[in-house]
Structure 1
Amino acid sequence: MNNPKTLPGWVKPALELGPIVAFFAAYLLLKDRTFIIGGREYEGFIVVTAGFIPLILICTGILWRLTGKLSKMQIVTAVLITVFGGLSVWLNDDRFFKMKPTLIYLIFGGLLGIGLLRGQSWLKLVMEEAVPLDDAGWMKLTKRVCAFFLILAALNELVWRTQSTEAWVWFKTFGLTAALFAFFMTQGKLFQEHGIEKKEDGGA
């Protein structure tokens, strides 16, 4: 039986965040340029998107190879990036790629909502190992995460439909990431009230 692989602490964040940082840097470098490829004119954003798709797939594949597993969110994110990024490149239309965060948050917010209607915390299924909580804590956290994801979906729609591409790239790279970080930082009281001790396997 294969044991879970232990990686240095920086590897997973580097593989998950590295492509996003690379996308942002490449966009800043190429945003004002246009490229003629196959007789068609493409803006820098579309070219950067075309490079981002294989990069995220390669990093996701490396992560799976190193850890032996991927979360459902990582799989769905990679699929949506491929589909909607691919549509943006194929149709030379940046709107499809900008819709991708909206769909990700709607899908996961909707799934959590379905679980709540069934009286279940589906968030617990994917985060139980990382965040040990009692059942009441999981239900509270799931309701909050569900609402938060739906708010982020609406916010992404508002930004990409009303702001420039550059403003959306800044929002996508830093705004959404900061919002997720701030959200979980504000859940400290819930973690404190509903946290449970992890059981140690075997003695020291």
Structure 2
Amino acid sequence: MSHHILEEEPNSPARKEMNPLLKFALELGPLMVFFFANSRGEQLAATFPILKEFGEPLFIATGLFMAAMAISLAVSWAITRSLPIMPLVTGAVVLVFGSLTLWLQDETFIKMKPTIVNGLFAAVLLGGLLFGKSLLGYVFDQAFKLDAEGWRKMTLRWGLFFIFLAVVNEVVWRNFSTDFWVAFKVWATMPITIIFMLTQIPLIKQHSTERLAGAEDTGR
């Protein structure tokens, strides 16, 4: 039987499940490493002199962010023997823009990374809809199950939300300090995303396949 490197389609019998909390930790962990390393870069360099080779705290944070992303993908592979699509896209962009940041010692590249990642996610999700594919199911199908119409609506909403995040990142990094940008990236972007997710609860309840199955059983 052929083995797929990328994760299987949502609801596929061959798709290996991962604990939602672990999946969330693997996706959030590298971001927390980046924030911690940026705020404690000098102390880390004093404790681990090799980190001084990176330069300023932002560059130390960038190097550790790249390492954390690689570890996150490696853990996902070890558990499921497949690579999650969205983190894989993020990891590829982090590798390219992080390498440019460290090589040229120019913080502009790492600041542009969220814009590129969110823009790519928006393009993938909205582009998938043009071909009749609701790709958001690859990300959230382990958290909840929706019917086809529900996934289509969720994919559209998230595609537009990623465009919003890309625009916000451009506004922040171009008009505020690096420290403010890092703080906003960790402490504002995540709450905004959580609030957005909470606003999707009515749609999730409406299109939940478990709810629909329960309604059918009640009607028999």
TM range (shorter): 0.7 to 0.9
Partner of 1:58: 71
2:165 alignment partner, SS class: helix
Instruction: Give 2:84's aligned amino acid.
Output: S
Q: Is 1:149 matched up with 2:165?
A: no
Matching of residue 85 in structure 1 with residue 98 in structure 2? yes
Match of 1:22 in 2: 33
Equivalent in the alignment of 1:202: none
RMSD: 3.0
Work out whether residues 102 and 154 of structure 1, in 8 Å CA contact, stay in contact via their aligned partners in 2.
Answer: yes
Deviates most, 145-154 or 15-24 = 15-24
**Mean CA deviation greater in 109-118 or 154-163:** 109-118
CA distance in 2, matches of 1:50, 1:150: 27
Distance, in Å, in 1 between the alignment partners of 2:57 and 2:43 is 6
The answer on 1:95 being equivalent to 2:104 is no
CA distance in 2, matches of 1:7, 1:34: 35
- Mark the runs of 5 or more structure 1 residues left unpaired by the alignment: 200-204
* Structure 1 letter corresponding to 2:88: I
Contact 2:29/2:68 (<8 A) preserved? no
| 1:62 shift after superposition | 2.1
- Aligned pairs, number: 197
- 1: CA distance between counterparts of 2:84 and 2:186? 21
The structural deviation recorded for 1:18 is 2.5
Contact 1:109 1:149 survives alignment (8 Å):
yes
Instruction: Find the partner of 1:179 among 149, 167, 192.
Output: 192
The gaps in structure 2 that reach 5 residues or longer are 4-13, 214-220
Please give the per-residue CA displacement for 1:144-181, whole angstroms capped at 9, x wherever unaligned.
11111101110111111111101110111122211221
- Do 1:133 and 1:196's aligned partners in 2 also have CA atoms closer than 8 Å? yes
Amino acid in the other structure paired with 1:72: I
Partners of 1:107 and 1:24 in 2: how far apart? 23
* CA distance in structure 2 between the aligned counterparts of 1:110 and 1:23, rounded to whole angstroms: 26
Identity %, equivalent residues: 38
The DSSP-based 3-state class of the residue aligned with 1:122 is coil
Residues 85, 138 of structure 2: 8 Å contact kept: no
1:139 paired to 2:152: yes
TM-score by length of 2: 0.76
Specify which structure has the higher proportion of helix: 2
